[in-house]
């Protein structure tokens, strides 16, 4: 396959952006401008293409009635001219705050500058009561042009979108979280995908969390990037304190944040993935559908970034995209609750009081059993009606067997042991298969025999067969069709292997009973295996899944981004970034090719999977989460 030969071009998707808070001195414009220049130079050294400064950063925010002084206003405009001269040979988009006089009204504005040219001036629309003493609202200023003594016909208004390729910038001023309809919402409806917010937000106890929450919800709701910059500690402290809070977010995630209250020039840098924002908008078409609700028509100001190929990725790529990194335990408990609620509803609907579950001593069946136990406790059902069946076969080891037995005993469920060797040997004889040939028939006979046992006992006992297969296995088709592929309800259907490991670990660490905790920790330490091939002479597992299909941490990474719509070359690029300390590039390439082939060729199994609950944004249910033909070709995905 040749998908690596056509090298992925990251700079068509990613843009390095910065949020800065310079040292300022109230009304000392020359001093302020000097520090703004220092921040710009630092950003250029970090390969940044866009940098934002706080509201009124040229003058400082806390000038009071001196905003109405002609000398201050003239000096601030002179500083903008000097900044333009400084930027003439610099390929960086800069947004800086300064007052601007227009038709006998003063406006709190963002000046947008690239290569020394003012591309546009955006006035603040939501003026708080204290600012109304000096500034007018610019909300009704649209389709206007202004001139200064050094540049003519500058677009002026809130209706501006600045576009270079797929990067579409718009700008707002002040804290938006108090606005009933933030201006960023209107601008996103008109196509903006990167919002710059120049702010002067005073610090209060708990207020910083409001900013974080607003950024996360706004970027999720609008499928946009958001860069926030607020003025810092060198503002006047007559009545208020400012912390210099800097934030960069994207699509519900906080990518970068500074430590507030710093007393030096501060800059944070991250890379916005505009490609992922566009893919998200393809799935969520409401922005296009509601664009007519915007009370103005946007003007697009075109400009061009040069030397985009001079790019260095400036964001951490998480190895485990399915794992919650923030408040981990709460999220893990939430996943459990989704699984438990789903199974509880299915039991109530079917009016069944018992379940049947195959227990192997592995991760998947352990999680399914834990979920079932919690469900029975929720419904006040007798745990003895959970029929756990261990079915030793040709490859069952003492370690997994003992863990399965001991866990069932500690949890208080009913335990049955049914050996499948004899019945499988009989089946081999019936179909004329040599049991010494350890091929796919040898393995699948065992898997289907176990499923048959579970189904028959469920019929006999009036119970529901609980599926244990997980999302990773479903993606790879690493299951036996009509064997472990089949159940009556799959509680792990949208839980990938890497997340299952974290869930079981969470239970093990929270478990008060030391014996139960010890069993769970040993299950975590056991190699993933279906145990369908004979064990070695020492009784150890010979069939280790990850030696055959590859590391699940890689496959879960591939799966997450493939379902999000990323092209294969980009997935390869991100994987190499995330796992650069763990795997060589040729190993990543090998398993990525393997994943894509398996994902396409095994769709027929996913087309016939049982019901199961969705717990995260990635699911492969054919009933609406991921619709794909069973006979689709993967060839185009390798070109």
Residue 5 pLDDT class (50, 70, 90 cuts): low
Helix (H, G, I), strand (E, B) or coil at 226: strand
Beta bridge partners of 96: 111
110-161 per-position pLDDT tens digit: 999 999 999 999 999 999 888 999 999 999 999 999 999 999 999 999 999 9
Chain-centre distance of CA 140, in angstroms? 37
Phi, psi of 526 (to 5 degrees): -85, 135
Q: How many CB atoms lie within 10 A of CB 88?
A: 10
444-468 per-position pLDDT tens digit: 999 999 999 999 999 999 999 999 9
Consecutive H or E run containing 346: helix 328-350
Question: What would the mean pLDDT of 245-270 be, rounded to a whole number?
Answer: 94
Please determine, for residue 502, whether its predicted confidence score (pLDDT) is greater than 80.
yes
Q: Measuring CA to CA, how many Å separate 510 from each of 276, 361, 459?
A: 37, 20, 36
Nearest by Cα to 230 from 454, 463, 54: 54
C-alpha to C-alpha distance for 91 and 638, rounded to whole angstroms: 35
C-alpha to C-alpha distance for 376 and 388, rounded to whole angstroms: 14
Please determine, for residue 1, whether its predicted confidence score (pLDDT) is greater than 60.
no
C-alpha to C-alpha distance for 65 and 72, rounded to whole angstroms: 11
Residue 319 pLDDT class (50, 70, 90 cuts): very high
330-382 per-position pLDDT tens digit: 888 899 999 999 999 999 999 999 999 999 999 999 999 999 999 999 999 99
The confidence score (pLDDT) of residue 177 equals 81
The confidence score (pLDDT) of residue 258 equals 94
C-alpha to C-alpha distance for 214 and 199, rounded to whole angstroms: 14
C-alpha to C-alpha distance for 616 and 514, rounded to whole angstroms: 31
* Domains of the chain, earliest start first: 14-302 (3.60.110.10), 328-638 (3.40.50.620)
Question: Of 159-168, 206-215, 282-291, 545-554, which range is least confident?
Answer: 282-291
Beta bridge partners of 249: 226, 254
Residue % of the chain over a pLDDT of 90: 82
Longest CA–CA span in the chain (Å) reads 100
Angle between helix 398-411 and 363-378 (nearest 10):
10
Strands, E assignment, 82-181: 93-102, 105-114, 117-123, 144-146, 154-156, 160-164, 167-173
Residue 82 pLDDT class (50, 70, 90 cuts): very high
C-alpha to C-alpha distance for 238 and 230, rounded to whole angstroms: 18
Residue 524 pLDDT class (50, 70, 90 cuts): very high
Task: Tokens 């199994």: give the residue.
Answer: 605
Average pLDDT for the chain: 93
431-442 per-position pLDDT tens digit: 999 999 999 999
Measured over the CA atoms of residue 490, residue 496, residue 501 and residue 502, the dihedral's sign is negative
CA atoms within 13 A on the CB side of 231: 29
The confidence score (pLDDT) of residue 233 equals 85
Please determine, for residue 328, whether its predicted confidence score (pLDDT) is greater than 70.
no
46-59 per-position pLDDT tens digit: 999 999 999 999 99
Residue % of the chain over a pLDDT of 70: 98
Please determine, for residue 520, whether its predicted confidence score (pLDDT) is greater than 60.
yes
pTM score of the predicted model: 0.93
Question: What would the mean pLDDT of 250-254 be, rounded to a whole number?
Answer: 94
- Which positions make up the binding site for L-glutamine? 201, 207
Consecutive H or E run containing 14: strand 14-21
- Which positions make up the binding site for deamido-NAD(+)? 444, 473, 478-481, 605
- Which positions make up the binding site for ATP? 358-365, 468
C-alpha to C-alpha distance for 119 and 226, rounded to whole angstroms: 20
Integer-rounded Cα Rg, in Å, for the chain is: 30
Q: Write the Ramachandran bin of 408: left for phi over 0, alpha for psi from -120 to 50, otherwise beta.
A: alpha
Helix intervals (H) in 27-124: 29-45, 70-86
Residues that are catalytic? 55, 124
The confidence score (pLDDT) of residue 536 equals 78
Q: Which residue has the higher pLDDT, 29 or 528?
A: 29
């Amino acid at each position: 396959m040749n998908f690596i030969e056509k090298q992925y071009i990251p700079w068509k998707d990613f843009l390095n952006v910065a949020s800065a808070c310079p040292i300022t001195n109230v009304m000392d414009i020359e001093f302020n401008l000097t520090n703004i220049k220092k921040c710009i130079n630092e950003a250029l050294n970090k390969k940044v293409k866009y940098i934002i400064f706080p509201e009124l950063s040229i003058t400082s925010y806390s000038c009071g009635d001196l905003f109405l002084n002609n000398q201050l206003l003239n000096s601030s405009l002179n500083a903008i001219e000097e900044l333009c001269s400084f930027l003439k040979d610099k390929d960086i988009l800069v947004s800086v705050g300064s007052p601007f006089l227009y038709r006998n009204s003063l406006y709190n504005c963002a000046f947008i500058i690239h290569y020394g040219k003012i591309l546009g001036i955006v006035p603040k629309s939501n003026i708080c009561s204290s600012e109304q003493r000096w500034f007018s609202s610019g909300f009704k200023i649209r389709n206007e042009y202004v001139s200064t003594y050094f540049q003519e016909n500058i677009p002026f208004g809130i209706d501006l979108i600045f576009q270079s390729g797929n990067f579409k910038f718009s700008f707002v001023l002040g804290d938006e979280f108090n606005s009933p309809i933030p201006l960023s919402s209107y601008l996103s409806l008109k196509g903006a995908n990167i919002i710059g917010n120049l702010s002067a937000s005073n610090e209060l106890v708990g207020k910083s969390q409001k900013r974080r929450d607003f950024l996360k919800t706004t970027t999720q709701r609008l499928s946009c990037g958001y860069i926030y910059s607020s003025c810092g500690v060198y503002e006047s402290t007559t009545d208020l304190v400012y912390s210099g809070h800097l934030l960069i977010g994207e699509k519900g995630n906080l990518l970068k944040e500074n430590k507030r209250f710093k007393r030096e020039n501060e800059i944070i840098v991250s890379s916005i993935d505009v490609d992922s924002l566009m893919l998200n908008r393809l799935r969520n078409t409401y922005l296009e559908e509601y664009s007519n609700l915007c009370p103005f028509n946007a003007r697009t100001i075109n400009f061009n970034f040069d030397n985009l190929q001079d790019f260095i990725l400036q964001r951490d790529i998480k190895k485990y995209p399915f794992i919650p990194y923030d408040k981990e335990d709460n999220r893990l408990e939430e996943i459990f609750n989704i699984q438990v609620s789903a199974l509880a509803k299915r039991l109530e609907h079917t009016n069944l009081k018992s379940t049947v579950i195959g227990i192997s001593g592995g991760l998947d069946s352990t999680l399914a059993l834990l979920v079932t136990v919690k469900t029975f406790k929720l419904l006040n059902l007798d745990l003895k009606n959970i029929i756990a069946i261990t079915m030793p076969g040709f490859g069952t080891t003492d370690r997994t067997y003992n863990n399965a037995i001991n866990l069932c005993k500690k949890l208080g469920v009913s335990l049955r042991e049914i050996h499948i060797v004899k019945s499988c040997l009989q089946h081999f004889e019936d179909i004329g298969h040599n049991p010494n040939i350890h091929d796919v028939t040898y393995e699948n006979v065992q898997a289907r025999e176990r499923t048959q046992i579970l189904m028959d006992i469920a019929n006999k006992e009036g119970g529901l067969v609980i599926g244990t297969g997980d999302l990773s296995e479903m993606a790879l088709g690493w299951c036996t069709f009509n064997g472990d592929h089949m159940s009556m309800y799959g509680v792990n259907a949208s839980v990938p292997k890497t997340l299952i490991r974290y869930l079981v670990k969470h239970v093990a660490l929270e478990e008060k009973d030391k014996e139960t905790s010890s069993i769970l920790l040993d299950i975590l330490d056991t190699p993933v295996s279906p145990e369908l091939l004979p064990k070695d002479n020492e009784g150890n597992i010979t069939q280790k899944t990850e030696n055959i299909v590859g590391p699940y941490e890689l496959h879960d990474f591939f799966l997450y981004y493939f379902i999000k719509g990323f092209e294969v070359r980009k997935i390869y690029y991100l994987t190499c970034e995330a796992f650069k300390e763990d795997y060589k590039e040729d190993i990543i390439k090998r398993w990525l090719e393997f994943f894509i082939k398996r994902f396409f060729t095994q769709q027929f199994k996913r087309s016939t999977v049982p019901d199961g609950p969705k717990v995260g944004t990635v699911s492969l249910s054919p009933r609406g989460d991921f619709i794909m033909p069973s006979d689709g070709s993967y060839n185009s995905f390798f070109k």
